[in-house]
Structure formats: C-alpha cells, structure tokens
C-alpha cells in the first residue's frame, strides 16, 4: 500500500526535464517523473523555496513512459528524457515554447510551426567527453558527467553518439590506461563528420615516450584522426594522420562545404541542421535585391546559404576566429556578396546598429543569453522581417516581448526543432514581421 500523503501528482516538466509538483505550496522537482504521473518520492535536497526528489515508485504511469534504451540512463547527465517516448518529448518541448511565449513574453504566434526533428539516436556529432583516472573503479573513465555530481559517469557506450563513436568508448578507456600521462588528460573533444572523425586530446603535460606511438596505432585501427591540445583552444593542432580528409560539414541544398576547426562552434545535430536551415530560409525568404544581416553568425552557417539568394549579407559575430573562418568559408565557396565583422552584440548601441546601414531582413541566432541588447537597439529603420533561431525559449520569449510590445513587430510563427532528443534542451525558431 502506498501512503497517499507521500504521493505527488506531476503537473508539468521543467526546463531540465524534471517532473514538477507542489506540496503545501512548495515546488518539488522530481527526477524521473513524467507529466500526469502519480509517484512516491524521496527528497535528496531541501531548500526554503523548493525540494529536489527522486521517484521511488510510479503509482500511476504516463502513456508516454518507455523503457530507457541506455543502461547508463539516470546516472549519466547526458540525457534526462529517455524514459519518455520521442514524439511525447517533442510535444512537451512544444508546450515549453508556448508556455514561455505566453507567460514570459505575453505574446502568441499567429501560427505554430510543425516541429522539426531527425533521428532520435546517434545524432550527436559534437561532444566533450571527460576523462578521469579513478583507481577504485579499476581504471580510466571516459564519458559525460553524472547527473547529480561532477564525477565522470562510468560508461561503455552512449546511444546519442554515432554508433561507431559509442563503440570506441571502451577502446579509449583501455588506450588512455596505457598512456604515461593517463592522469594528466582531462578531456577528449569529438567532431564527427561523414569524411573524418576527429578526437582532440587535451593534455596538461607533454605526451611521454611511447604515447605518440600508441595514439598512432589506435588511429590506424579505429580510423580516426587525433588532434592535440596542450593549452587553450588556439593550441589545437592535428597530430595523426596528417593526410586525413578535411574536417568539414556540408549543406548540399545550398551547394556549400563548411570547413571548421574542432574548437569552433558548429551545430551538434548534423541531420537536423539542414532541416532547420531550410525552415530558416523559407521564413527569411531572401531576395536578390535584399541586404540582409546575420547576427551571431559563427562560421557562416546561415550567412552563406542566405548569400546564395540575397544581394548582400553581413555576418556579425563576437569571436574573431569565427569571423576569420566565415570569411575563408565564403571565399572557399566562391561567394563574393558577404561581409563579416567582429562585434560584441551584447553591448551594441542603437547608434552602432544604425551605423551599419539599412537591412531589409535580419537573422538572429544568439547563445543561451539571447539578444536583449540587440533587439532593444533596433530603431525606426529596423528590418521588416526578423527570423530568430533560439537555443533558450526563456530568452526568446523575453526578446519577443521587446519586439512585439515595444518595436512594433508581430510574431507571425514559432516552432521547435528537436536538436537534442532525450535532453530537455529546446531549440526553436520564430518569425517576426512589422508593417
């Protein structure tokens, strides 16, 4: 028998994928619980304003509940929603976007766009795997951090990495155990593409005698390319084999090849990125007579496709390395109608924005903090149309409030892209227009 006083009815999921319930007015966030479920729970953290708890028993189960595929689910912090059926995850993320727009932004889109999604598994082309020598666990751990601690999870596979990379994890653990610098190697960064899989080793001390040879043998056996990183990101250099294919992703619909360095930001989900790109282009609808600006342009992921149809595109970005990369990528693809500049868009003033001249349209793809200062800086000459790609629905909603309630835009459409299946991460896209 369940003690009813210890059961909770889960009302919703929060931004971390935890079930949200209330008891005596206090919020309780329950790991492993889904909306609509009734669960018993045990509290593992108590604060004045809220409690964190773990499900101990599911009294009434959601129809959306499925058996997690990964044996490390619950311990590993990489995924938080594997116990939820993938289409229900998408519906939940759509609800998060709508709730944020309603409650934070006080805005409502004219149209909700259908969700963009790709394969549910093996989608992660970029990852940062932590490495830790833990003698009492019998060797080296390679993986994501644990869900409730900063320890590295003990794992031998990962369902969201490409299967060939997941299969490498035990081999990587064995390899690092053989290296003389096994306790001076905190992370391995992954960049997986169709042509080459790059693994970047961050090493705190020089590789020892014999280490280089072990890396070479591993690369040949598993068909990967090693890069080494001795200090900051600018110290990353290819190591072996030096004649590997170029590290690049492609956007075939726009006939573009986008080389990048492993330290540079690229979209993690290479299956969803082209679909999101197509949606962004449909919404932006660049015309051959238009001057368009791509804010937070990175290495030109959106700038270059826009340049295929617009008269001119200006890409603006805070990282000078990425701006240099974007320029090279434009040149590499034979585009002569792009211009790039380094600018801190978190501090841009109305005068600085106006000095860039008139833009017919704008694309904004900011980091999690959003683009509050930028949207505040829009003046009377602001673009008629803005497409906003967001990795944080709360800051999108906050910025939407400025655009709609202060700058005279209408929120025409919004929708999500399931960039990170099995995580609570919500990527979305919105179209704003003004008369």
Ligand X SMILES: C[S@@+](CC[C@H](N)C(=O)[O-])C[C@H]1O[C@@H](n2cnc3c(N)ncnc32)[C@H](O)[C@@H]1O
Beta carbon of residue 345, minimum distance to ligand X (angstroms, whole number): 4
- Tell me: does residue 29 bind ligand X (CB under 6 A): no
Stretch that binds ligand X, among 56-64, 69-77, 87-95, 340-348 (CB under 6 A): 340-348
Terminal-to-terminal C-alpha distance of the chain: 62
Q: Which of residues 315-334 bind ligand X (CB under 6 A)?
A: 317-319, 322
Q: Which of residues 109-128 bind ligand X (CB under 6 A)?
A: none
Q: Which of 298, 370, 383, 421 binds ligand X (CB under 6 A)?
A: 298
> Helix, strand, coil proportions of the chain in percent (round to 5)?
25, 30, 45
In the chain, DSSP finds a helix count (H) and a strand count (E) of: 10, 22
Stretch that binds ligand X, among 55-63, 212-220, 261-269, 405-413 (CB under 6 A): 261-269
- Tell me: does residue 297 bind ligand X (CB under 6 A): yes
- Tell me: does residue 74 bind ligand X (CB under 6 A): no
Beta carbon of residue 40, minimum distance to ligand X (angstroms, whole number): 40
- Tell me: does residue 372 bind ligand X (CB under 6 A): no
| Closer residue to ligand X, CB minimum distance, 51 or 189 | 189
Beta carbon of residue 194, minimum distance to ligand X (angstroms, whole number): 18
With CA atoms as reference, report the closest residue to 158 among 31, 267, 92, 68.
Answer: 68
What's the CA gap between 197 and 161, in Å, rounded?
A: 12
Stretch that binds ligand X, among 134-142, 201-209, 247-255, 339-347 (CB under 6 A): 339-347
What's the CA gap between 187 and 239, in Å, rounded?
A: 16
Q: Which of 229, 267, 338, 392 binds ligand X (CB under 6 A)?
A: 267
What's the CA gap between 216 and 221, in Å, rounded?
A: 9
**Placement of tokens 């868009």 in the chain:** 345
Residue 76 designated active-site: no
Element (H, E) at 215: helix 211-222
- Tell me: does residue 151 bind ligand X (CB under 6 A): no
- Tell me: does residue 296 bind ligand X (CB under 6 A): yes
> Does a cis peptide bond (omega within 30 degrees of 0) precede residue 241?
yes
Q: Which of 365, 399, 427, 433 binds ligand X (CB under 6 A)?
A: 365
Residue 165 makes CB contacts below 8 A (sequence gap 6+) with 127, 158, 190, 192, 197
Give the CA angle between residues 351, 352, 353 to the nearest 5°. 90
Binding residues for ligand X (CB under 6 A): 265-267, 296-298, 301-302, 317-319, 322, 344-346, 365-367, 391
Give the active site residues: 391
């Amino acid at each position: 028998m369940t003690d009813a006083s210890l059961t909770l009815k889960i009302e919703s999921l929060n931004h971390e994928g935890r079930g949200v319930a209330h008891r005596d007015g206090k919020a309780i966030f329950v790991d492993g619980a889904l909306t609509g479920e009734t669960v018993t729970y045990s509290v593992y953290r108590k604060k004045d304003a809220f409690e964190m708890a773990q499900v101990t028993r599911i009294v009434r189960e959601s129809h959306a509940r499925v058996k997690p595929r990964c044996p490390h689910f619950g311990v590993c912090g990489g995924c938080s929603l594997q116990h939820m059926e993938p289409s229900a995850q998408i519906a939940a993320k759509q609800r998060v976007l709508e709730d944020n727009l309603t409650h934070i932004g006080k805005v409502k889109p004219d149209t909700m766009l259908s969700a963009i999604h790709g394969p549910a598994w093996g989608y992660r082309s970029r990852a940062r795997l932590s490495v830790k020598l833990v003698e009492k666990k019998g060797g080296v751990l390679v993986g994501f951090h644990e869900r409730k601690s900063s320890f590295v999870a003990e794992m031998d596979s990962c369902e969201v990495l490409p299967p060939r990379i997941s299969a490498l994890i035990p081999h990587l653990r064995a390899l690092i155990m053989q290296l003389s610098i096994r306790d001076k190697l905190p992370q391995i960064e992954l960049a997986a593409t169709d042509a080459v899989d790059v693994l970047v080793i961050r090493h705190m001390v020089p590789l020892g005698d014999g280490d280089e040879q072990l890396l070479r043998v591993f690369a040949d056996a598993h068909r990967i390319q090693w890069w080494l990183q001795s200090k900051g990101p600018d110290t990353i250099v290819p190591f072996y084999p030096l004649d590997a294919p170029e590290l690049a992703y492609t956007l075939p619909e726009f006939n573009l090849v986008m080389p990048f360095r492993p330290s540079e930001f690229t979209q993690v989900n290479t299956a969803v990125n082209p679909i999101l790109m197509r949606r962004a282009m449909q919404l932006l609808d660049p015309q051959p007579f238009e001057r368009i600006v791509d804010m937070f342009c990175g290495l030109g992921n959106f700038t270059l496709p826009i340049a295929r149809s617009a008269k001119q595109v200006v890409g603006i970005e805070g990282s000078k390395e990425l701006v240099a990369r974007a320029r090279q990528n434009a040149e590499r693809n034979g585009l002569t109608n792009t211009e790039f500049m380094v600018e801190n868009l978190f501090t841009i003033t109305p005068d600085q924005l106006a000095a860039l001249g008139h833009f017919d349209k704008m694309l904004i793809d900011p980091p999690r903090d959003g683009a509050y200062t930028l949207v505040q800086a829009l003046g009377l000459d602001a673009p008629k149309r803005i497409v906003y790609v967001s990795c944080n629905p709360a800051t999108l909603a906050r910025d939407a409030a400025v655009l709609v309630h202060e700058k005279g835009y209408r929120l025409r459409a919004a929708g999500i892209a399931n960039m990170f299946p099995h995580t609570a991460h919500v990527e979305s896209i919105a179209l704003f227009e003004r008369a």
